[in-house]
Chain A
Amino acid sequence: MGKSFREKLIPYTFVLPALILLALFSLIPIVIALVISFTGMDITGLGDLSQVKFIGFQNYTQLFKDPTFLQSIFNTGFYVIIGVPLVVILSLTVAILINSGQNRFFKFMRLIFYTPSITNTVAVAVVWTYMYNPSMGMINNFLGKLGISEIGWLTDPNVAKYALIILAVWKAIGLNMLIFLAALQGIPRSLYEAAELDGANWWQQTWYITLPSVRFSIFFVTVTTLIGWFQFFDEPFVMTKGGPLNSTNSVALFVYQNGFQNSNFGYAAAGSFIMFAAIIIATLIQFRLQKKQQGR
C-alpha cells in the first residue's frame, strides 16, 4: 500500500484529542489505583505517603475470605443476569412502540419515558420508598385489592433485590429507548415497502427488518448496560444501604463503603479491580459474539 506517512497519521488526529484527555484523567488514575490495590493504604497513608506499605496480593486474598464481599459478588451477578436482558428488551419494545406512530401523542411519549432519567435521586428515593412501604405503600395497597398479601419489598431479603431491579429498569429505559429510536430512524423506508409488497405483516417486518437493522445498537446497549449493572450502585445506596442482611449489597457499594466510609483505600481498590476483571471479560465475550454474528 502506498499510503504516505501523512495519510497514516490522519486517523490519529481524530482519536488523539479524546485519548489524551482520557489517558490523563482516567487511564493514569486507574493505573495509580491499581498500584494502591497492592498496598495497605489507609487514612494515615493518605497524609503521609512514607507510611504506605506494599503488601502484595494480601488485599486480594483477604477479599475472597470476606463473606460480605462474596455475597456482594453473588448479588452483582444476580443483578447483571436479570437486569441486562430486561433493560435491553423493554427499551427496544418501547422504542418500537413509539416509532409505530408519528403524531403528537407518540412524540409526547418519548418525553414521558425519558422523565425517570431526569428525576432527581432524592425524589426517586422518596417516592419509591413510599410506594414500596409494606403497610401503606401504593403497590401493596393495589396488590391487596387483588387479594395478594403484603410483600416486604425492601425489608424481605428475598424480595429486596427484585425491588431494586424494578427501580433500576424503570430508570434505565429512557436513555436506551432514545438510542434505539435514533437507530430506527436509519432504516430505509424502501425496505419496509418492499416487504409490504411481498405481503409481510407488521410482526414479520419487525422481526426480519427492524431487529437486524438495529443490531449495532442492540450490541451497544447490551455492552453499556452490562458495564452499568456490574457497577450497580445508586439504587442500593439510596434505598437499602445494602441491607437487609446484605441481600442487596453490590460490589460497587462494597467498594464505596470500604474506600470512603472506612478509608481502606487499598482494600477498596483491590475490590474494584476484581470487578474490573469481570467486566472486561464479559465485554470481550460480547465483542467476540458480535464478530461471529457479523461473520455469518
Chain B
Amino acid sequence: MKLKKAMGYGMVAAASVLLLAGCGNSSTKSSSSGNSETLSFWYGGDADTAVKPIIKAFTKKTGIKVKVQSIPWSQYIDKTLTATASKSGPDLMVTGTTTMPNSVASKSLMDITSTVKSDQALNPNKFFAGSEATTKFNGKYYAVPWYVETRVLYYRKDLLKKVGYNHAPKTWAQLYDAATKLSKRGKDMYGFNVDAAEPTFGFMFARQNGATLLSGKKTQFNQAPMVGALKYLNKFVQNGASPKQDLKLSIGQSFGGNGRVPMFISGPWMMQSVKTDAGLKSSQWGVAELPKGKANNMSNTGGGNLSIFRYTKNKKNAMKLLKFMSNKENQLKYYKTSTSMPTLKAAWQDKALSDTNIQVFRKQLNSSQPMPLIKQWDQIGQNYLKAWEQIALNNASVQKTMDTFNQQTEQLLNK
C-alpha cells in the first residue's frame, strides 16, 4: 500500500533525524558546559544588528566571551518568570523599567548598591532622574539605566496652521481649543487622541494637574487634581474632539493623509513609524513638549535598564560587561544602531543627537517621571483603563467612577 510506504519513509526519516539530533546535542553540550567563562546576556528583540557590535568590542577588549540570547519582546516576561522560578537564567539582562518592581519583588535581580555608590562611572547623578528612579528600591540599587523613553506631543504642522496655530499647543487650554477646531473639519475627524488603550494616560495628565498619585499606601485618585484632569480629558471625548475608543488604525490611517487624528502623545518609537509609514513630508509634522497643565507638563518615563541576575555565578564579569555597555561611547553606539535614547546626560551633547526632533525629547526628559514603581501598578493601570471606558463610553460621573477606582486600588494595595 502506498500510504504504508510513505509512512515507512517517514519513520526512517524521523529516526535518522533523531540520531543526528542526538549526536549534535551531545557534542554541543560538552562544549558549552566546559567553558564557564562565557557570559550569558538576555536581550529583548533581535540582537544581531543592535547590540552585537558592542558585545564584540567587549570581547575584543577583555577576552571574555559573551553569548547574547535574543528573546521576542512579546515573551520576555514569560521567559524571565521561568528563569526566576527555577533560579537559573542569564548573567546580565535587560529589564524594562515597568517590570523593574516585579523583578525586584521576585528577588531576581542582584543588589548592586555598593558598586553603584563607589564607582564614579555609575554615579546616579550622571543619569536622568526619571531613569535613575526606576533602578532604586527602598534605597537600594538593582540596575543601571541603559536607554530611556519619554512621551511627547506629535502634531500635524500643516493642519494646525489652518486653524490658526503656528506652533504646537503649549497649554491645556490651547490643546483643547486647537483640538476642538480641528474636529470641526468633518465627520470622523478628530483633534487629539485621548488614548483609551494606554494605561498611563490619565495618570500623566493628573500629574500635570498637580496630583500625587500615591503617597505610601494612601491613594489619591479621587481627589481634585486627578478628577479634574479626567474631566478635562472627558471634554475632548464628549464634544467629539477625540475618539471615544481606540480607533485601531495604523499610523498612516490616523496621522497621515488628511490627518483624522492630527495630534497624539507617544514615545520615540513612533518617530520611525511616522517617518517610514505615514507618507508625510517632514515639514508637515513635528514633535513638541507636552502642553502645560495647572502644575507642570510632566511626561512619563520608560525605557530599559541593565541588571545582573541574582543567581549568576559570574558576578565579576557580568559587572564588567554592565559597566562597558553603560559608558557614554557605547550608549551612543547603541543609539546609532537602535535609535534607543541614551540615559547618560553627557551623551546628549554628541552631535548624533543634535536633530531638532530628538532634542524635543531631551527637553521633555527634564520634566518626566516613571509611573509609581510598585508591583501592583500594572493591575492599577488595567483597572484605570476600565474606569476610563465607563467615563468615555457611558459618560459616567467622573467623581463617582474615581471613588470606586480609589477604593478598588486601596484594597489591592492592602492585600
Contact = CB atoms under 8 A, between A and B. Distances in A.
Given A43-B106, A46-B84, 17 more contacts: A40-B415, A43-B102, A43-B375, A46-B81, A47-B84, A48-B106, A129-B248, A133-B248, A155-B244, A244-B389, A245-B390, A246-B386, A260-B78, A261-B379, A262-B378, A263-B81, A263-B378
Contact of A243 (B81, B85, B389): B389
B11 interface: no
B382 A257 contact: yes
Interface residues of B, number: 28
11 contacts: A43-B106, A43-B375, A44-B106, A44-B375, A47-B106, A129-B248, A135-B188, A261-B379, A262-B382, A263-B375, A263-B378
A129 B375 CA distance: 33
A241 B415 CA distance: 26
B243 to A, nearest CB: 9
A154 interface: yes
Nearest to A135: B188
B108 interface: yes
Contacts of B85: 46-47
A40 B415 CA distance: 9
A43 B187 CA distance: 47
A243 B394 CA distance: 13
Nearest to B376: A262
Nearest to B85: A46
A48 B389 contact: no
A14 B175 CA distance: 71
A68 B389 CA distance: 14
A134 to B, nearest CB: 9
Contact of B105 (A44, A133, A241, A257): A44
A68 B387 CA distance: 12
Contacts of A40: 415
Contact of A262 (B245, B379, B394): B379
A257 B378 CA distance: 10
A47 B108 contact: yes
Contacts of A154: 248
Given A43-B102, A44-B375, A48-B107, A245 B77 contact: no
Interface residues of A, number: 25
A244 B188 CA distance: 19
Contacts of A68: 386
A260 B386 CA distance: 18
A263 B102 contact: yes
B102 A245 contact: no
B245 A244 contact: yes
A257 B385 CA distance: 13
A245 B106 contact: no
* Closest 8 A/B residue pairs (Cβ): A47-B106, A262-B379, A47-B107, A43-B106, A44-B105, A43-B102, A135-B188, A43-B105
Q: Is the interface of A mostly helix, strand, loop or mixed?
A: loop
Interface in A147-165: 154-155, 157
Nearest to A45: B106
Contacts of A129: 248
Interface string A239-255: 00101111000000000
Contacts of B379: 261-262, 264
A262 B415 CA distance: 14
Interface in B153-210: 187-188, 197
A154 B243 CA distance: 14
Contact of A47 (B77, B105, B378): B105
Nearest to B248: A129
A43 B374 CA distance: 12
Contacts of B105: 43-44, 47
Given A46-B81, A46-B84, A48-B107, A155 B375 contact: no
A245 B389 contact: yes
B19 interface: no
B308 to A, nearest CB: 15
Contacts of A133: 248-249
A241 B245 CA distance: 12
A44 B390 CA distance: 32
Contacts of B77: 260
Interface in A91-116: none
A264 B393 CA distance: 29
Interface string B380-411: 00100010011001100000000000000000
Contacts of A264: 379
A135 B106 CA distance: 46
A97 B391 CA distance: 49
A241 B187 CA distance: 27
Interface string B82-103: 0011000000000000000010
Contacts of B81: 46, 263
Interface in B326-360: none
A293 to B, nearest CB: 32
Contacts of B102: 43, 263
A1 to B, nearest CB: 34
Contacts of A43: 102, 105-106, 375
Nearest to B260: A135
Nearest to B196: A243
Contacts of A260: 77-78
B143 to A, nearest CB: 16
A161 to B, nearest CB: 16
A261 B383 CA distance: 12
Contacts of B394: 245
Contacts of B378: 261-263
Which residue, of A155, A157, A257, has the highest number of chain B Cβ atoms within 10 A? A155
Contacts of B249: 133
Contacts of B376: 262
B106 A46 contact: yes
Nearest to B197: A241
Interface in A28-76: 40, 42-44, 46-48, 68
Nearest to A68: B386
A176 B227 CA distance: 52
Nearest to B107: A47
Contacts of A257: 382
A154 B78 CA distance: 29
B55 to A, nearest CB: 28
Nearest to A258: B379
A214 to B, nearest CB: 22
A157 B389 CA distance: 11
